[in-house]
Structure 1
Amino acid sequence: MLTLQNMTYAHPNKDVLFDNLNLTINRQEKIALIGNNGAGKSTLLKILAGVLQPLSGAVVTGDTPYYIPQLFGQFNDYTLAEALQISGKLKALQEILAGEVTEANMTLLDDDWGIEERSREALAHWGLGDIDLARGMGSLSGGQKTRVFLAGIAIHRPKVVLLDEPSNHLDADSRAQLYDYVRTASATLIVVSHDRTLLNLLDTVYELSGKGITVYGGNYDFYKAQKAIEAQALQDDLKNKEKALRKAREVEREAIERQQKLDARGKKKQEKAGLPTISMNTLRNSAEKSTAKIKDVHAEKTETIARELGEIRKTMPDRDKMRMGFDDSGLHNGKILVLARAVNYGYGDKLLWPQPLSFTLTSGQRMAIKGGNGAGKTTLIRLLLGELQPSAGHLERAEASAIYLDQDYSLIDNSLNVYEQAQGFNTGQWQEHEVKSRLANFLFTRDYWDKSCATLSGGEKMRLILCCLTLGNRAPDMIILDEPTNNLDIQNTEILTEAIRDYKGTVIVVSHDAVFLNEIGVSETMTLQGTNPPQ
């Protein structure tokens, strides 16, 4: 069992990330920890792993968790053995076998005589059998680094495993291996991920938010269904409050009008009766007080309803406040955009594809490009964009506008602030207040407008690109996406999914996310078999 007791964590600048968290995870339970960017999911995993210390509270567990971090190059200066925290044992084993049977070496080895063989078997299981434990992590690809840490599970044989975005950078085969491990694992698993296929393999969803942790007793599909019910209830509550507010204001107006008519009739009677001025003034003051009293009574009611309405609107999901508003591409469906006949590309005297590529891309088509590392996916994209010319064959490209959304979000100019970036895509049809209103629709409030684009997260950059695309006169004819859901949380993945689903032009996407491909309507797949030249 793993328990969090009254856990509070604050950033170095004293901002509290979460406060008084309480959580109990039973042995062999498999849970998904989800939440929007900034909610503190990765931080919470690091606290569970002992990498970070909370401001207050405690983690109670009888087992040492094995932690697979989200990788950003922080292990590039380590060897595989050092990253896996087995270098000490391996060194002690080698020294013992060489005759240095010291007490220190024996203590360090702790009778783990099979550590070296077990490590090599674990690496081989994850397709890394040809990589030496002394090799530097910096020489490996992102997918290989992730597989090194996944191999560490079999090496350390932990009872609790913490995984932070483990499917990032993995190809389809490695993802299948990861899914198989999750299905069959007997360890307690706590997984932070945006991979919805992976999340559906887990028994329970824990949602981390500003309110704390909410537990949903099922997999991700169950969680989504429950959230949809909650969202509908919220929408119904919102409509009812809006209706009640309109009714309250109407009742207030009618009551005031009735009182004013009564006062007017009373005034006419008093004027006919010829009352003195002082009496008329008294009657007028009395009428004004009656009207003011009615206003006060109804104002209290309308203010209460308006305040409740404001609170409901604050709890509405951010993505429900967003409007994509993509214009349609100007090209008619079926127009040929790219025609390739026996196309190939050469690195030196070696051609990339054993079989040359022949295909046709038409307006409105949705196609996925798949293939392992070195298969030439990036090269093909550059050919489609006109950045490279084929070494063999014939490639025709029609006059069409294309947007390339790569993993580094290169469309974003990090030297600009958020407002300047948006203005760069404004074709002159939007006034300043309209651009800022559009930014606000994409969750870039006033606090963001002067913020440097360099400080934005991946999800924020993706949202900013989508916002920028809606500021143009016309949507691009083609959008090319390269692993677009990597490093996006679920909220931003859903925002991207909705935007691409609404877009009517051509979509070319490189992705291993089967759920994403299905939800954006990809109907064709081109699988590349490259010869692994340098790209």
Structure 2
Amino acid sequence: MLILQNLSFIHPNKDLLFENIDLTITTRSKIALIGNNGTGKSTLLKIMAGLLQPSAGTIHVNSFPYYIPQHYGQFNQLTIAHALGIDEKLKALHEILNGSANELNMAILNDDWMIEERCSEALAHWGLSDIDLTAPMKSLSGGQKTKVFLSGIVIHQAEVVLMDEPSNHLDKAGRQLLYDFIKTTPAALLVVSHDRKLLNLLNSVNELSKRGITVYGGNYEFYAEQKRIENEALHQDVRSREKALRKAKEVERETLERQQKLDAKGKKKQEKAGLPTIMMNTLRNSAEKSTSKAKSIHAEKVGSIASDLTELRKELPDVDKMKFGFDNSNLHKGKTLVTANEVNYQFEDQQLWKQPLTFQLNSGERIALSGLNGSGKTTLIRLILGELEPKSGQLSRAQNKTVYIDQDYSLIDNHLKVYEQAQQMNESGLQEHEVKIRLNRFLFSKETWDKPCHALSGGEKMRLMLCCLTISHQQPDIIVLDEPTNNLDIQNIEILTSAINDYSGTLIVVSHDEYFLNQINIERSIVLKE
């Protein structure tokens, strides 16, 4: 069991990240920890793993948790055994078996005579049976590094496991192994992930925000439904407040008009009555005070409703604001854009695909491009884009505009600032204020217009990329997305999904995220085999 009580964390620059966090991980519980980028999910996991100290609060641990980080660069100079924290134990075992059964070696081994067998079995389970524990971590791919740390769960016989984006570097087969493990493991899990298929395997979703942790007692589908209900209620509150604001302004106007008519009528009566000037001034001042008081009362009421409405609008989801808004008149649905007949590519004397490729891409289609790592997905994309020509077969391309969006959003120029990048894509000649309106719509406020692009997060680069496409105005015939969700949180994946579903051109997607592929309505797949 692991219990957090009143946990808070303040950055060294004194910025508060989160406070008063309460969380309990019990035996066999399987918990998702979600939240927007910057809310502190990874920081909270590091605190629970003992890698960071909280600013306040307490942590109670019965079984020290096993931690799988999101990034592995810090381990590159270590051996696999060292990265797993078992190098000393393996060394002690070998020295004991070689006759050096001294007190220190026995203490380090701690009667764990089966450590080597567990290592072999665990690594083999994750498809790493040919991995040498003395090999450097830097010799492994990202997916292999993830599998090494996943192997460590069984090697360390962990009872509580903390995972930070465990499916990020895994291919389809690796993800399936992870899903199967999550379903069957007796260990308690706390998982930070944007992989919605994975999140649906967990039985509780905990949402981290500046307000703390909100617990939803179900998987991701249950959470999404509850959020939908919450958002509908929020929209209803906004509509109700908007109606109340209109009514309050109408009452304010009618009251002031009525008061002004009464004042004018009273003034005429006073003039007809021939009242002394001093009395006239007194009555006029009294009427002005009455009018001013009425104005103040109504202005305060209108201001209060407007303030409440502003706060409610801040809580509205951002997804609906971000649409492409392309002019679709130039698209001809069903038009053949690319035709491949017995196409193959060659590296030195080796054909890339055992079976040459024959396919056709038509305007308006949504196609997934799938295959194992090394199956030639990137090469095929470059053939479609016209950056490469096939070594055999025929490939014809109709005149078209294609946009290629990779997982690093490299179309964004890191040397430019946000506004400069938007202007660079302003092929339609939008006025400055129009460009800034678009930036605001994609959550780039005035304070961010001078922010350098290299300082943007993955989600921010994605939103800027989408914004720039709307600014360029000319709808591309084909958009190619290469692992677009890898560096995004759930909020930004939903923004991307909504924007893509607003696009009516041809879509080609490389992704291991099956949930995302379903959400963007993929119609067919081109499967590559080596």
Same fold (TM over 0.5): yes
Counterpart of 1:274 in structure 2 is 274
Q: Does 1:290 align with 2:275?
A: no
**3-state secondary structure, aligned to 1:433:** helix
Q: Equivalents in 1 of 2:235, 2:367: separation in Å?
A: 36
1:233 alignment counterpart = 233
Deviation string for 1:411-444 (max 9, x for gaps)? Answer: 1111111111111111152222221221121111
SS in 1 for 2:373: coil
Matched position secondary structure for 2:244:
helix
Q: CA deviation at 1:321?
A: 4.3
How many equivalent residue pairs? 530
Evaluate the alpha carbon distance shift between residue 134 and residue 72 of structure 1 in structure 2; reply closer, same or farther with a 3 A threshold.
closer
Q: Which amino acid aligns with 2:42?
A: S
Q: CA deviation at 1:177?
A: 1.1
SS at match of 1:475: coil
| In structure 2, C-alpha distance between the alignment counterparts of 1:358 and 1:134, rounded to whole Å | 45
Q: Contact 2:320/2:498 (CA < 8 Å) preserved in 1?
A: no
Other structure's SS at 1:470 match: helix
Residue 215 of structure 1 corresponds to: 215
SS of 2:73's partner is coil
Shift of 1:285: 2.1
Q: Deviations over 1:186-214 (max 9, x none)?
A: 11100000011110110111000010000
CA distance in structure 1 between the partners assigned to 2:438 and 2:77 by the alignment? 43
> 2:330 aligns to what SS in structure 1?
coil
Aligned position for 1:316: 316
Task: Give the 5 Å matches for 1:109-188.
Answer: 109-188=109-188
Report what 1:533 is aligned to: none
The residue aligned with 1:92 is: 92
- Asked if the contact 2:319–2:498 (Cα under 8 Å) also holds between the matched residues in 1, the reply is no
Instruction: Decide whether the 8 Å contact of 2:479 with 2:507 is kept in 1.
Output: yes
- Once residues 364 and 145 of structure 2 are traced to their aligned partners in structure 1, the CA distance between those partners, rounded to angstroms, is 37
Deviation of 1:120 (Å) = 1.4
Q: Does 1:303 align with 2:303?
A: yes
Aligned to 1:443: 443
Q: What residue number does 1:517 align with?
A: 517
Counterpart of 1:363 in structure 2 is 363
CA–CA distance in structure 2, aligned partners of residues 73 and 335 of structure 1: 46
* Partner Cα distance (2:386, 2:280) in 1: 87
CA distance in 2, matches of 1:132, 1:373: 22
Alignment-derived partner of residue 257 in structure 2: 257
2-side partners of 1:296 and 1:15: how far apart? 38
TM-score of the pair, normalised by structure 1: 0.97
TM-score by length of 2: 0.97
SS in 2 for 1:337: strand
Cα gap change, 1:331 to 1:320, in 2 (>3 Å): closer
The residue number in structure 2 matching 1:527 is 527
Tell me if structure 2 keeps the 8 A contact 1:119–1:155: yes
Query: Which residue identity does 2:358 align to in structure 1?
Result: S
Query: How far, CA to CA, are the matches of 2:433 and 2:60 in structure 1?
Result: 52
Q: Which residue of 2 aligns with 1:105?
A: 105
| 8 Å CA contact retained: 2:80, 2:133 | yes
Alignment of 1:49-60 (within 5 A): 49-60=49-60
Give the letter for the 1:222 counterpart.
F
- The 8 Å contact of residues 459 and 489 in structure 2, kept in 1 or not, is answered as yes
1:71 alignment partner, SS class: coil
Q: Secondary structure at the match of 2:63?
A: coil
Q: Name the amino acid aligned to 2:427.
A: T
Q: Secondary structure, in 3 states, of the residue corresponding to 2:471?
A: coil
Query: Once structures 1 and 2 are overlaid, which stretch shifts more, 208-217 or 267-276?
Result: 267-276
Retained in 1: the 8 A contact 2:324–2:503? no
Unaligned runs of 5+ in 2: none
Q: Matches of residues 397-436 of structure 1 in structure 2 within 5 Å?
A: 397-436=397-436
Give the C-alpha shift of residue 110 in structure 1.
1.2
Instruction: Look up the match of 2:195.
Output: 195
Which residue identity does 2:62 align to in structure 1? G
Find the aligned partners of 2:209 and 2:126 in 1 and give their Cα distance.
35
Provide the secondary structure at the position in 2 that maps to 1:205: strand
Matches within 5 A, 1:36-75: 36-75=36-75
Is the contact made by 2:9 and 2:19 (CA closer than 8 Å) also made in structure 1? yes
State the Cα distance separating 1:154 from its structure 2 match: 1.3
Q: Using the TM superposition, give the Cα deviation of residue 267 of structure 1 relative to its aligned residue in structure 2, in angstroms.
A: 1.7
Q: Deviations over 1:502-525 (max 9, x none)?
A: 101000001111111111110101
Q: 1:407 to 1:322 in 2, by over 3 A?
A: closer
- SS in structure 1 of the partner of residue 128 of structure 2: coil
**CA distance in 2 between partners of 1:6 and 1:473 (Å):** 50
Aligned-partner Cα distance in 1 for 2:416–2:361: 35
The answer to whether the 8 Å contact 1:482/1:511 transfers is yes
- Measured against aligned partners, the alpha-carbon deviations of 1:467-500 in whole angstroms (never above 9, x if no partner) come to 1111013121111011111121100000011111
Residue identity opposite 1:84 in structure 2: L
Q: Match of 2:52, SS?
A: coil
What are structure 1's unaligned runs of at least 5 residues? Answer: 531-535
3-state secondary structure, aligned to 1:183: helix
Instruction: Call closer, same or farther: CA 1:485–1:502 in 2, change over 3 Å.
Output: same
- Checking the alignment, whether the CA contact within 8 Å between 1:29 and 1:188 is kept in structure 2 is yes
Partner secondary structure for residue 28 of structure 1: coil
| Residues 91-100 or 207-216, more deviating | 91-100
Q: CA deviation at 1:54?
A: 1.0
**Map of 2:18 onto structure 1:** 18
Letter matched to residue 212 of structure 1: G
